[in-house]
Amino acid sequence: MKRFVLRRLGYAALTLILLSLTIFLFVRVTGDPTVLLVEPGASRADIEALRHDLGLDRSLFVQYLGFVKDVIRGDFGRSFYYRTPVLELYLSRLPNSLLLAAAAMAFSLLIGIPSGIIAAVRVNGWWDSAGKIFALLGLSMPSFWVGLLLILFFSVYLGWLPSSGSGTVWHVLMPAFALGWYFAAAHMRLTRSSMLEVLGSEYVKLARLKGLPEALVISKHAFKNALIPVMTLAGINLVLMVNVAIVVETVFAWPGIGRLIYEGISFRDFPVVQATVLMNGAMVIVVSLMVDILYAVVDPRIRYER
Amino acid sequence: MSASTTAAPSAPSRAVGLPLASRLAAFRTEGFPTIPIVILLVLVFTAVFAEFIAPHNPEVGSLSQRFKPPAWVAGGSSAYLLGTDHIGRDVLSRLIFGARVSMIVGFTAVIFAGVLGTALGILSGYFGGWVDQVIMRITDTWLALPALTFAIFLAAIVGPSEWNIVIILGAVYWTRYARVIRGEVLSIKERDFVRLAIVAGCSKMTIMRRHVLPNVLNSAIVLATLMLGVVIVTEAALSFLGVGVPPPKPAWGLMLADGKKGLMAGYWWLTVFPGVCIVLMVLSANLLGDWLRVKLDPQLRQL
C-alpha cells in the first residue's frame, strides 16, 4: 500500500512538473506582452525598461526556475492588466466558480440520479427510451447554446430571469442549468448502468427472495451500492465543471475563473493565464490522485496492479 | 458507459406497436443508423456544393436588409428564407457555407489526431520501456488539462485561423487515441501471430505496420467517429469565444456569437438555427459512432 501511494505521488509530482513546463513554454511562445502594455508612442528605451521590470529579458531557463520558485512560495506574479497579484485575482473569482459548479452539480444529480434509477428499474420500457434520448441530447447539445436558448426564453420572452451578471439566486439558475445539462446526461447514464449491475447481483436476489417489497429492495439494497461509482464520477466532474465553465461564464458574464482565463487570453495577460491554467490542471491532478488512492484503500486488488 | 451497452439481450428488435421512443431506441442499437447517415450525407452534400445551393453570398450583406426575420414570420421576405443577421447577411447561405467549415475542420482534425495518436499509441505499446514511459507521461500531462481549457489556451497562442484550429484540435485530442490504442497493442503483441512474425525475422517496423496496425484500425475508426462530435462542439465553442475560425467566415459557432448581439432584442433565428445545425451534426456523428462501436469493436463497449 505504502509503495503504491508513493508511486502514485511520484507520478502526480512528475505530471505537475511537466504541466508547469508545458504551460510555461506555450505561454512564452505567445509573443511579447510589452507591446500591448506600453503607450503607442513609447520609446525603445521605455519598452526595454518595462521588459527588464517584468523579467522578460532573461533566458527562458532562468525565467522558468524563477517561475517555479515563486509558485512554490504561492506567488504567481502580478497581473499585467489589473496590476494586482494573480493569486488575489484567482481567489476572488474562485468562490463564484465553486458556487456555479456546486449549483450545476446539484442540478445534474437531481435530474441524473432519479432518471437513471427509473430507467434501470423499467429497463427497455418507455422511461428507459426517453432517458436514452435525453442522454443523447445532453451529450450533443453544446452548453453555451443551451445557455443562449435559456436567455432567449426566460429573459427575453418571459422576462423572468436576469440574462447576465451575478449576485442573487436568480442569477445562478440559468448558468447552472446550462452547465449541469451535459453532466446530468452523464450521471444518468452511469446511474442506470450501475443500478442494472447491482439489480442483477446475488444480494438483491436474496432480498427479493426474503419477500421484501420491491420499493425497499430498490431504495435500500440496490440504490446505496449503485451510488458509489456515481458519487466518484460526480467528484471528478465537479473539478471538470470549474474548467468547462469558460464558455458558459462568457455567455452569462459570470465572474468566475473561466472568465478570468478568457480575459487573460484576450489581454495577453501572461501571469493570469499561466496561473489559472496551472491551478486548474493541478486541481485535476490532485483530485484524480485522491480518487486513485481512495480506490486502492477500498479495493486491495488495485494496489498490486502494474 | 453508453446507455446502450447494458441493454438486456431480450430487447425487442424493432417490435411493431411499441411507443415511438422505444422503437427509435431499439433501432439505434440494433438497426442500421439510417437517419444519422442520411443527415451526415445531406450535410456533406451541402458542404461540397455550397456555391450552387446557397442563394446569397455568405460574407456580404446589405445594411438595409439587417435583422430580417425568417420568411414565414411577419416582416420576412422569401428572398431570405431564414432571415438575415446584424449586417444583413443571409442566414441560410451562411449556414450552408458553415457546413463546409465544420466538415473541413471536423474531419481533418479527427484524422490528424487519429493518425498522431494511433502512431504514438502503437509505438508506446509495442516498444514499451522508456519510449512507453515518455509517451505515456506526456499523455497523462495533456489529459490532466481539460480539453476546452487547453484548446482555448493554444488557440490564444497561435491566433485564429481555420487551419490553426485543426492543428489545435489535433494537438488536444490525440491523447484519447494514444491511450486506447496502447492498451490494445499491449495485448496484441502477446498474440501468436506477432510472435510468429518475430520468429520469421520481420523487422519491428514491418510488424507494427503489417500485423499490429490492421488490428487496431477498427478501434481507431470507432474512436474517430465518436470524436467527430466532440471536435465539432469544441470548434464551435472556440469560434464562439472569438479564438476559433476568424470572421467573416461563416462558421456556426461564429454565427452564434454574432447572434448574441441580437439576442436581447429577440432576434431568435440568429441563435436557434446555427445551434440546430450543430446539434444535428453532433447527434448524427454520436449515433453513427455508437452503432459502429457495437458492430466493429465489442471491446470498446465499455468506453
Residue B25, pLDDT > 60, answer: no
Taking the CA of residue B22 and the nearest CA in chain A, the distance in Å comes to 5
Taking the CA of residue A91 and the nearest CA in chain B, the distance in Å comes to 18
pLDDT score recorded for residue B116: 94
* Range 24-63 of B in CB contact (< 8 A) with A: 24-25, 28
Enter the DSSP assignment of B127: H
pTM value is 0.82
CA distance B89 to B91: 6
Q: Write the pLDDT tens digit of every residue in B221-231.
A: 888 888 898 89
pLDDT-derived band at B15, boundaries 50, 70, 90:
very low
CA distance A17 to A282: 10
Which among A70, A178, A282, A233 has a CA at the least distance from the CA of B240? Answer: A178
pLDDT score recorded for residue B286: 86
Judge whether B177 lies within some domain.
yes
Locate the chain A residue with the closest alpha carbon to B27.
Answer: A129
Cα end-to-end span (Å), chain A: 13
pLDDT score recorded for residue B19: 53
Contacts A238 to B, Cβ<8 Å: none
Give one word for B77, left, alpha or beta, with left for phi > 0 and alpha for psi -120 to 50. Answer: beta
Chain A interface includes B303 (CB < 8 A): no
Locate the chain A residue with the closest alpha carbon to B260.
Answer: A148
CA distance B273 to B85: 12
Chain B interface includes A295 (CB < 8 A): no
Q: How many residues does chain A have?
A: 306
Judge whether B286 lies within some domain.
yes
Q: Write the pLDDT tens digit of every residue in A42-89.
A: 677 777 777 777 666 677 788 888 878 888 887 877 787 888 888 888
Judge whether B19 lies within some domain.
no
Judge whether B148 lies within some domain.
yes
Contacts B1 to A, Cβ<8 Å: 189-190, 193
Are B260 and A251 inside 8 Å of each other by CB? yes
Domain of B83? Answer: 34-57+71-301
* Cα A24 from chain centre: 21
Taking the CA of residue B201 and the nearest CA in chain A, the distance in Å comes to 30
pLDDT-derived band at A243, boundaries 50, 70, 90:
confident
Locate the chain B residue with the closest alpha carbon to A230.
Answer: B1
Q: Are B154 and A30 in contact (CB under 8 A)?
A: no
Judge whether B5 lies within some domain.
no
The beta-carbon neighbor of B137 closest among A14, A126, A142 is A14
Here the CATH number for the domain that contains residue B42 is 1.10.3720.10
Interface test with B, best of A11, A136, A199, A279 (most B CBs within 10 A): A136
**Could you give the residue ranges of the DSSP H alpha helices within B49-191?**
50-53, 91-127, 129-144, 147-158, 162-188
Residue B4, pLDDT > 50, answer: no
Weakest mean pLDDT among A11-25, A32-46, A195-209, B262-276? A32-46
Judge whether B27 lies within some domain.
no
Structural element, H or E, at residue A115: helix A86-121
CA distance B261 to B271: 10
pLDDT score recorded for residue B9: 39
Interface test with B, best of A145, A182, A305 (most B CBs within 10 A): A145
pLDDT score recorded for residue B85: 79
Contacts B264 to A, Cβ<8 Å: 151, 155-156, 163
Chain A interface includes B14 (CB < 8 A): no
Q: Write the pLDDT tens digit of every residue in B43-87.
A: 889 888 888 887 878 887 777 777 778 877 777 777 777 778 778
The beta-carbon neighbor of B275 closest among A124, A145, A190 is A145
Chain B interface includes A18 (CB < 8 A): yes
The beta-carbon neighbor of B149 closest among A135, A137, A277 is A277
Contacts B150 to A, Cβ<8 Å: 277
Enter the DSSP assignment of B84: B
pLDDT-derived band at B140, boundaries 50, 70, 90:
confident
Q: Domain count of chain B?
A: 1
Are A140 and B268 inside 8 Å of each other by CB? no
Q: What's at B248, amino acid-wise?
A: P
User: In 3-state terms, what secondary structure has residue A222?
Assistant: helix
Interface test with A, best of B1, B132, B142, B149 (most A CBs within 10 A): B149
Are A133 and B154 inside 8 Å of each other by CB? no
Contacts B11 to A, Cβ<8 Å: 124
pLDDT score recorded for residue B294: 77
Judge whether B10 lies within some domain.
no
Give one word for A32, left, alpha or beta, with left for phi > 0 and alpha for psi -120 to 50. Answer: beta
Contacts B5 to A, Cβ<8 Å: 193
Weakest mean pLDDT among A125-139, A203-217, B26-40, B265-279? B26-40
The rounded percent of chain B whose pLDDT value lies above 70 is 87
* Range 229-248 of B in CB contact (< 8 A) with A: 229, 233, 236-237, 240-243
Judge whether B24 lies within some domain.
no
Which among A27, A11, A96 has a CA at the least distance from the CA of A60? Answer: A27
